[in-house]
Amino acid sequence: MIYQQRIPREELFSAQLELLMQNGRLATVTSHLVGVGATIAIFWPFLDITVILLWAAAFLILLLVRSLQMSNALVNRSYLTNPQGVYRRLLLGAAATGAVWAGVYIFASHHVPITMQYTLLLLIVMITAVSVGFSVIIREYFFAYLFTALWPIAWWSLAHYWEQPYNLVIGLALLAFCAVLMIVCDRVHRTFRNMITLNWERETMSQELADLTNSLRDRNRQLRDARRQLTDLANIDELTGLGNRRVVNRAVKEEINRARRNGSYVSLILLDVDFFKSYNDTYGHPAGDLVLQKLADLMQQASARAGEVVARYGGEEFILVLPGAAPDSALRTADRLREMVEEEQMPHESSGVANIITVSQGVVTVQPENDLLPGDLISRADQALYRAKQEGRNRIVVAGRYEPSLNR
């Protein structure tokens, strides 16, 4: 390679591609072959050997295809004639490889012991760290792998922090590790680029890169803030601060799936304020809003266990999702909630059952099977609530005797 004092951009880019393929081909295949062998050893006692070998064969084919692409590009010198095409194929190969490792880890979290799962995570982190050495020639090549291998694992761990004791720590640590790798990769990449270009507009290029990085960081921060605001608007009830129906449906679906896997219970309590329309007519809607806010606070106090979800289901109806709660436990929670409401002694002179605010509740507990849908469970609780109203209000009605499936 000929070094010039003012090397053209196109030639610089082609030189980076050439160096990356020359130095990264063998290192890529070797590091991932070690990873495949270790993964087979981890999954061997827990999965069918045919599945493991099929995965290993498919991954080896992916590595072979990537190696052949680099070899052909070097032989045909297509990195000079079509550098953008070679560049895109390199990024696609790195992203595909990273996505495979992320998928394997998420799969392992449900099929292997936690120690083996963390061993696999350590292996993936080591492969990523090793990749820095030969990937920094083209920074985006390493980022493509990083953001498809460790980044999804980090966010998956944060999104499922309650499933395993260290998921939250792992997610935060991986995000920090990704940030460190990005900084290291960026600095080494710049140094390497300056070594190739010598004095080629060094200060101007550094300033442009810094401005671009700051602009992208600001834009990403704005996008994250906007996305967070949109999520809050979509999932949070403005009056009570509780989750809304969207949150309930998602939580019920997740708890049904978890209970189905674990063979455990899931319970719902659907609560309605007795004669709430009469209350609004008597005391005014602002007073009614205060009652709803107070009920929201009481329901949050009544839901003391981790994983329980309180939401406003609509109007004066609230719902409480109790994962793992047996029938007796759900009924005790409902009775405690009824007592808490009565202890508040909120006046309601136009009520047909008492001179204070009272509530009616429908309780349902199931041990879900494959045919149970979230809507079925909520409908069952709603039917129990309807019976509570029909039978005179200010009472708790359980949706029949507990049965393992709603369809029996």
Residues 145, 98: Cα–Cα separation, whole Å: 5
Q: Two tokens at 147?
A: 């953001």
Are 385 and 351 within 8 A, CB to CB? no
Strand 309-314, strand 266-273: pairing: unpaired
Calpha distance 66→92 (Å, rounded)? 10
Contact 29, 17 (CB under 8 A): no
- Rg of the chain taking only CA atoms, in angstroms: 29
In the Cβ-directed half-sphere of 291, how many Cα atoms lie within 13 Å? 28
| Contact of 265 with 324, CB cutoff 8 Å | yes
The amino acid at 361: Q
Residue 160 has a CB neighbour count (10 Å cut-off) of 15
CA 381 – CA 399 distance, rounded (Å): 7
Among 254, 255, 308, 316, which one carries the catalytic annotation?
Answer: 316
d(CA 340, CA 39): 54
Task: Report the distance separating Cα 113 and Cα 209, nearest Å.
Answer: 45
Pairing of β 359-366 and β 396-398: parallel
Active site residue 316: yes
Asked if 51 and 107 count as a contact pair (C-beta separation under 8 A), the reply is no
Max CA distance (Å), the chain: 93
Q: Which residues contact 292 (CB under 8 A, 6 or more apart)?
A: 239, 240, 273, 312, 316
The DSSP result for 202-245, as a single string, is HHHHHHHHHHHHHHHHHHHHHHHHHHHHHHHHHHB-TTT-SB-H
Q: Are 138 and 20 in contact (CB under 8 A)?
A: yes
Coil vs helix vs strand at 359: strand
- The catalytic residue positions are 316
